[in-house]
């Protein structure tokens, strides 16, 4: 995994950590590893800012789509342009990764967006 880590973005203020997001690159596919925003910073657009910062960076590195798995934020990511995908739609570069169970199961929904 360490060889694929491309970018982590962290937002802070004087009181500490506000949010972070991370992405790994597998050829032309980005795998969003995480997005977290502190409770005190939610509803201010910080999550969207973190995602857009990462997207701008990986787009320049040749990433053409981003995939993620979520257990609780599918509606949020849908608003950002992500759509659920099935195992048959999974980019080949991600198929060897063990965190993607077959289909959209209770372990989460797999989503993708084209850049």
pLDDT for the residue 102: 58
Model pLDDT for residues 60-82, shown as the tens digit of each residue: 999 999 999 999 999 999 999 99
Question: Which domains can be identified in the chain, with CATH numbers?
Answer: 2-114 (3.40.630.30)
What sign does the CA torsion over 69, 80, 74, 111 have?
Answer: negative
Quote the CA–CA distance of 103 and 92 in Å, as a whole number: 15
Residue pair 94/26 in contact by the 8 Å Cβ criterion: yes
Print the SS3 string covering 81-103: CCEECCHHHCCHHHCCCCCCCCC
Residue stretches of the chain with pLDDT short of 70: 1-6, 100-106
| pTM beyond cutoff 0.85 | yes
Residue pair 32/82 in contact by the 8 Å Cβ criterion: no
pLDDT for the residue 107: 76
């Amino acid at each position: 995994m360490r060889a694929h880590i491309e970018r982590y973005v962290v937002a802070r203020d004087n009181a500490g950590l506000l949010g972070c997001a991370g992405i790994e690159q597998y050829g032309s596919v980005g795998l969003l590893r995480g997005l977290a925003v502190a409770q005190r910073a939610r509803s201010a657009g910080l999550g969207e800012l973190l995602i857009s910062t990462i997207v701008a960076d990986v787009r320049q590195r040749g990433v053409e789509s981003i995939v993620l798995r979520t257990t609780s934020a599918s509606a949020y990511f849908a608003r950002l342009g992500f759509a659920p995908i099935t195992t048959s739609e999974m980019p080949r570069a991600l198929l060897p990764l063990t965190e993607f169970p077959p289909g959209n199961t209770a372990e989460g929904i797999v989503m993708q967006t084209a850049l």
